[in-house]
Structure 1
Amino acid sequence: MNAGGRIAALTHPGPPSPSRLIAVATRADPVPVQVPGGIELLTALSRAAEALGVESAQVELLGGILRNVQYSLPQDCRDNTGRALVYSDIRTARGPVNLLSGSVTLGSLEGRPYLHCHAAWIDTAGVVQAGHVWPQTTIGPSPLAAVVHPLPGVSSRNAVDPETGMPVFTPYRSGPAGTTGCRVVLARVLPGEDLLRAASRMCAQADIRRASIRASLGSLVGPIFLEKEPTAPLPGPCAELVSLWGTVDGSRPVEPFHVIVGDATGAVHGGIIDPASSRVAVTVELLVTEESPP
């Protein structure tokens, strides 16, 4: 079976099982920050989290300049390791680039700070691209605008997932949950899960009625865009989720799920997706944050 077939096999077309996510809840408020320029992205974001007293966080990258952008794209796996897919060789964007959007999971790998970042940008030739951005990417001379979602008492750890053979972040309880701020839940959503169903379950477990979805990233099979013709999935093996916005109230999507994704060529796509038909491929690091009812 090729990589596309393995990804398809992971979508579990029937109703997802309650075991298809791993979630940890805490309390905290999002913090707008100016991420200092001139240093590596990992170093800068690790310092921002340390200043907030946490080891793990989800981050929205809102804009700025990146230089020396190191990135990869998802590719079919052509070896016999059983992996769902592989990353391409590391590429270098024609930079400096203008960052359009991005999402980051900040955590650790073997006890050292590490991150998972997907971003979209415009390069010096005016081409819009997206990809899996590696930690050694550097920030331009001026700061990046970002929103940090700190996760007190939560440790996001990167390790190889036995189901897909790919490195993924998984949240764990590492200390007391935060006691002030909004209730928030971070989950690793497993292959084949429906994002709306996952978000609804996360809210129910944390006694959250209404929640916003932000600062989330990973990969989707498809996805299916509701307002594009024809409504055909993007070419495989998967689409890299750069950003995700939505609001849920119980099991209802109060606001549609808007996404920006990059396909296997680095091309950027955006719009409203059908979450039931746009299942998780390898993983999604999904963050829900409590909102007050209107």
Structure 2
Amino acid sequence: MSRTLQSGYHRPRMLRHVGRFSPVRIQSMHYQSGRHIRLLLQPGRSLYDALVRPLQAIGVTSASTTILGGHFDHLEYCVAPPDPSGKAVIAYSSPIDAGASFMVFGNATLGKDMEGRPLVHCHASVRVEDGSVKGGHIVPQASIIGATPISVLVTALEGFELRQAFDDETNIPLLKPFKES
């Protein structure tokens, strides 16, 4: 047994997708340019509204963002353990209430859900009320920015958009690039 495993670390979990194999592992698109925007998430707003509304106002509907950290009056997140039903590789947990928390660092992707509404998918590390550090998928609609604005670096995606679509291999909906319609 390796020294790392003996000292208490776990082996990475092996994930096997249950759906039809796709030889294209990563779907990508690029464009020659994209706007870079510095945004301040406004206190008292949900992470969802604080990202979506100002970006919509300047015509941005798909973007990649880096959240530089800040306080949340309330934050909820979930994790993605293996799907106990076996129908997909993962299944999101119920939201976990982290209370007042500090987001150490996060990445959020802005796209459109299957009905064409704005969708924010955010992964982050957070320090929760008891001082421990957690990580997972932030619930944007339920996470409320604290008293101080939070800086976000935004790269607007130009020439294509991200849309949620069912993925046959993972058996879950994913954000995928599509030519703008």
Shorter-chain TM range is 0.7 to 0.9
TM superposition shift of 1:8 = 4.0
1:69 paired with 2:75, answer yes
Q: CA RMSD in A?
A: 2.0
Amino acid at match of 2:93: S
1:156 paired with 2:162, answer yes
- In structure 2, the partner of 1:246 is none
- Cα distance in 2 for partners of 1:99, 1:31 equals 20
Matches for 1:176-187 after TM superposition, within 5 Å: none
Q: TM-score, normalised by structure 2?
A: 0.81
1:40 paired with 2:46, answer yes
Matches for 1:123-138 after TM superposition, within 5 Å: 123-136=128-141, 137-138=143-144
State the structure with bigger RCO (CA 8 A, min sep 6), 1 or 2. 2
Amino acid at match of 1:107: G
**Is 2:17–2:170's contact at 8 Å kept on the other side of the alignment?**
no
TM superposition shift of 1:9 = 6.1
TM superposition shift of 1:62 = 0.2
1:103 paired with 2:101, answer no
- In structure 2, the partner of 1:147 is 153
Amino acid at match of 2:131: G
Q: TM-score, normalised by structure 1?
A: 0.52
- Cα distance in 1 for partners of 2:60, 2:39 equals 15
SS at match of 1:68: strand
Amino acid at match of 1:44: A
- Cα distance in 1 for partners of 2:173, 2:16 equals 19
- In structure 1, the partner of 2:173 is 167
Report how many aligned residue pairs link the two structures.
163
SS at match of 1:117: strand
SS at match of 1:87: coil
- In structure 1, the partner of 2:10 is none
TM superposition shift of 1:20 = 2.3
- Inter-CA distance 9–80: structure 2 relative to 1 (3 Å threshold): closer
- In structure 2, the partner of 1:56 is 62
- Cα distance in 2 for partners of 1:100, 1:111 equals 31
- Cα distance in 1 for partners of 2:17, 2:48 equals 34
TM superposition shift of 1:141 = 2.4
C-alpha offsets along residues 19-76 of structure 1, whole Å, 9 cap, x if unaligned? 3222221211422221112111111111232233221111100011123212111112
C-alpha offsets along residues 145-204 of structure 1, whole Å, 9 cap, x if unaligned? 1101111232211133121112210011106xxxxxxxxxxxxxxxxxxxxxxxxxxxxx
Amino acid at match of 1:119: A
Identity of counterpart residues, as a percentage? 31
